[in-house]
Amino acid sequence: MTEDLQLRDGRIIRVDVLSPSVFRIRVNVTPTFRESGMSRYGILRREWPDVAVTVDRSEAAVTFRTSAGSLSVELTTGRVALTAAEGDVRTSEVEPGRNDEKGFDLALALHDDDRLYGMGDETRDRVQKRGHRNKVVVRNVASYTPIPFLMSSRGWGIFLNTTWFHEYDAGATNPDVLRFSAPKGDLDYFLFLGDSLPDLLDHYTQLTGRPSLLPRWGYGLVYVHDEREVRARDVLYEARNFRDRGIPCDVISLEPDWMSKHYDFSVNKAWSEERFHTPFWLQPRQQGTFAGGLENMGFKLSLWLCCDYDFSEYEEAQLKKAGRSSEASYVDEPTELEDDLIKDPNFVPSYVDTITKRGEPWFEHLKKFVDEGAQAFKLDGSKQICFHPDRKWANGMDDAEMHNLYPLIYGKQMSLGYREHTGRRSMIFSASGYAGTQQYTATWAGDTGGAEKPLTSLINHGLTGHSNTTCDMDVKTVQGIHFGFMQPWSQAFSWHQYNQPWFLDKKRFTAYKFYARLRYSLVPYLYSAAHVAAQTGFPVLRGMPLVAPEDPASDDLLLQYMLGDSLLTGAFTDTFHLPEGRWIDFWTGEATTGPCDVPATYPENRGGVLFVKAGAIIPRWSYRDFTDEGDDEEILLDVYPWEKSHFTLFEDDGVSLAYLNGAVSSAQFDCVATEDEIEVRVGSRTGTYDGMPERRVYNVRIFCVEPSAVSVDDVPVAVDMWRYDAEADALDVTVAEVPGATTTLCVTL
């Protein structure tokens, strides 16, 4: 529901109740509200189901009540208060929100126990933002992906619906006040109620978009090739090296030298004929061509892009086509020269743009490269993170409003363009973004390497609902290799360096190969976590405040995180904190009970700590060179019994968009452990997708003491049908799926 409230001073407050937990508040001096670029261009969700709302009115205030809580507006001052259903005031304005020719200002009260998280990649020095202030502006290195969203440990959140340059002050100036302010723009914000941080991420990503589900191969390894006059033959032989040396890899990514013109910003770019020539009598993806050779070896091809195109022109054209171009239009029509008495057509606005082709979407010129084999694109920071203070964009915006919006609609048009052209999911990865980026692109931490600061950046991304994140792998140390592979997706970067794994010393080469294989074995586990992110906004890489919010140490843990439900890891630290619970060292099998701090110790040939949460059920693959190799009839299932636990394995065809319409299978696994018995229940798959294996076999490995008996569905399993690995303290037994039924594996200790 939507209602405009007239204040005593003549201002208008518009309240939208979008769901029981999501409220939108806008302030203006007139009843005409100008939409933000994010709203105008469809980044934010438009349609919401009806919600039951009770409106209480008095001379002093109007209160909108839902099942989750209420939003109250004082009619004398316009002050807003957000209250939970149980009557707890989560936050309120300490002064009326301001929106006038001098911009906007919003000040919310902070309670003593408000701990604040979010804001994306606007700082890499902290994850808890109380006491911090900063500019919310896309900036090279300093702030690649700022996101104006904060959530509190007290169960509320705020998202500022603006792309204007602005600032936030989370209690740095006044410890009791959270303030957003800007010299231009409109006051337009959303308030959220939630029972937990994951709950708030759920509500926020319902509004700004769920994290995209990458093609399954996107969760493998992306190798970014050296660019210095590299030829097709060089690329093919390096790809062959991955296969011959037994290092799994899915994507070969080319840097700027693939183009005939280095750093070509235009829509006329072409392959370098000298380095990537395809004879006219061969189709680009045929046997004997560059792209065909990569495909034959199981590789996907990614191409680097730089861009200064004006994406707003196409966005406005789409609005006009849909009949929505009159919505408080931004566009300065050059033919309407109302203030020009002479009506001289030469005095139209200057857009300072020599690249954009009017009426032609940017992705149009990229279709031919997709047809020739490109299946991914890397969006470099070049120009999209640069300021354009003298540029007037086609939609009429100044750069102060368009700058933050630019990488967002760049990613949107790339992602949707690829999907529409191919019918497949996109693998678009970008150096920068803004609120809503998570629904279109993956990101990497820009040109900042792969050490401590990028790690904190990934944690902050996850705390704003962005899941598909990574950074350039630092292969100078085994620690960097460990961290590089233990991320939502992995990118190894060469460019002007010889970072190929076979050029590393023996220790690092061995570690690289080990971690690559470990990562590929974990793809079923990681892909299931990616499905959860796509459904709920709960990221694959989870900072400690998300998983241990009551632990006082969580706010200061910048170098460790959970990867999915069950793996606790980190890097570049001498001390590691174990939250409450029981944790098993993945390398040694030793168990420790938290909360406690432990030395960050690991074997000499490994690069970081890796703990498994007791109760974990981790589906894995046996070795493969790339994600789409072979079938998936056989799944390895590692079980770490502890009390009661469960895991859901999600699978789909790995490439199409059919998962959005329910073409997904899921299998539920449960484990109940006591001193005398372990019971593992293996559910059959529900749901279907194209290419789904007709049968499924689970090779179950249970980490336990040697059993005295094993049974499946109350039928004893002969001793020669199971094996106990005394060195690993693990029982191995095979269980076949029974369609439509749950198979129970019982182990007597």
Whether residue 332 has pLDDT greater than 80: no
Residue the block writes with tokens 């799926």: 737
Closest by CA position to 188, among listed 104, 130, 125, 123: 104
Whether residue 465 has pLDDT greater than 60: yes
User: Are 15 and 119 found together in one domain?
Assistant: yes
Give CA–CA dist 145/438, Å, rounded.
11
Q: Give the per-residue pLDDT at 533.
A: 98
Mean pLDDT for the stretch of residues 126-131: 98
Q: Give the per-residue pLDDT at 339.
A: 45
pLDDT of 516-536, one tens digit each?
999 999 999 999 999 999 999
Q: Give the per-residue pLDDT at 328.
A: 59
For residue 710, the one-letter residue type is: V
User: Are 182 and 112 found together in one domain?
Assistant: yes
Q: Which domain holds residue 109?
A: 2-195
Which tokens belong to 152? 């509190």
User: Are 264 and 387 found together in one domain?
Assistant: yes
Residue 490, domain member (yes or no): no
Mean pLDDT for the stretch of residues 183-202: 97
Q: What is the CATH number of the domain that holds 234?
A: 3.20.20.80
Q: What percent of the chain has pLDDT above 70?
A: 96
Q: Give the per-residue pLDDT at 634.
A: 94
Helical segments of 173-261, H only: 197-208, 232-244
Q: Give the per-residue pLDDT at 227.
A: 86
Residue 301, domain member (yes or no): yes
Closest by CA position to 150, among listed 206, 189, 176: 189
- Burial of 654-674, coded b for 16+ CB within 10 Å and e otherwise, reads bbbbebeeebbbebbbbbbbe
Q: Give the per-residue pLDDT at 389.
A: 83
Whether residue 284 has pLDDT greater than 90: no
Distance from chain centroid for Cα 155:
22
Q: Give the per-residue pLDDT at 382.
A: 87
Give CA–CA dist 148/159, Å, rounded.
6
Q: Give the per-residue pLDDT at 327.
A: 63
User: Are 261 and 357 found together in one domain?
Assistant: yes
pLDDT of 479-504, one tens digit each?
999 999 999 999 999 988 899 999 99
User: Are 324 and 399 found together in one domain?
Assistant: yes
Whether residue 350 has pLDDT greater than 80: no
Residue the block writes with tokens 């299932």: 637
User: Are 250 and 393 found together in one domain?
Assistant: yes
User: Are 36 and 177 found together in one domain?
Assistant: yes
Give CA–CA dist 723/703, Å, rounded.
12
Element (H, E) at 146: strand 145-152
Q: What is the CATH number of the domain that holds 49?
A: 2.60.40.1760
Residue 523, domain member (yes or no): no
Residue 437, domain member (yes or no): yes
Residue 509, domain member (yes or no): no
Task: Give all strands (DSSP E) within 374-489, no chain letters.
Answer: 374-379, 428-430, 442-444, 469-470
Q: What percent of the chain has pLDDT above 90?
A: 86
Q: What is the CATH number of the domain that holds 599?
A: 2.60.40.1180
pLDDT band at 330 (very low <50, low <70, confident <90, very high): low
Distances (CA, A) of 99 to 61, 166, 711: 20, 13, 70
Residue 178, domain member (yes or no): yes
Residue 577, domain member (yes or no): yes
User: Are 250 and 127 found together in one domain?
Assistant: no
Of 547, 577, 609, which residue is a domain's last?
Answer: 609
User: Are 403 and 254 found together in one domain?
Assistant: yes
User: Are 347 and 409 found together in one domain?
Assistant: yes
Burial class for 535, CB neighbours closer than 10 Å (0-12, 13-18, 19+): middle
pLDDT of 42-91, one tens digit each?
999 999 999 999 999 999 999 999 999 999 999 999 999 999 999 999 99
Whether residue 666 has pLDDT greater than 70: yes
Q: Give the per-residue pLDDT at 333.
A: 46
Give CA–CA dist 664/662, Å, rounded.
5
* Cβ–Cβ under 8 Å, residues 413 and 361: yes
Give CA–CA dist 646/661, Å, rounded.
25
User: Are 46 and 146 found together in one domain?
Assistant: yes
In the three-class reduction of DSSP (H, G, I as helix; E, B as strand; rest coil), residue 472 is classed as strand
Of 393, 413, 444, which residue is a domain's last?
Answer: 444
How confident is the prediction for the chain on average, in pLDDT? 93
Q: What angle do CA 465, 467, 472 make, to 5 degrees?
A: 130
Q: Give the per-residue pLDDT at 601.
A: 95
Q: Give the per-residue pLDDT at 351.
A: 55
Cross-sheet strand order for the sheet of 644-651: 644-651, 665-673, 677-683, 742-748, 709-712, 715-716
pLDDT band at 32 (very low <50, low <70, confident <90, very high): confident
Q: Give the per-residue pLDDT at 340.
A: 42
Q: Using CA of residue 659, residue 662, residue 665, residue 668, what is the dihedral sign?
A: positive
Q: Give the per-residue pLDDT at 359.
A: 86
User: Are 300 and 354 found together in one domain?
Assistant: yes
Whether residue 335 has pLDDT greater than 90: no
- How many folded domains does the chain comprise? 4
Three-state SS annotation for 422-454: HCECCCEEECCCCCCHHHCCEEECCCCCCCHHH
Distance from chain centroid for Cα 128:
19
Whether residue 348 has pLDDT greater than 60: no
Residue 19, domain member (yes or no): yes
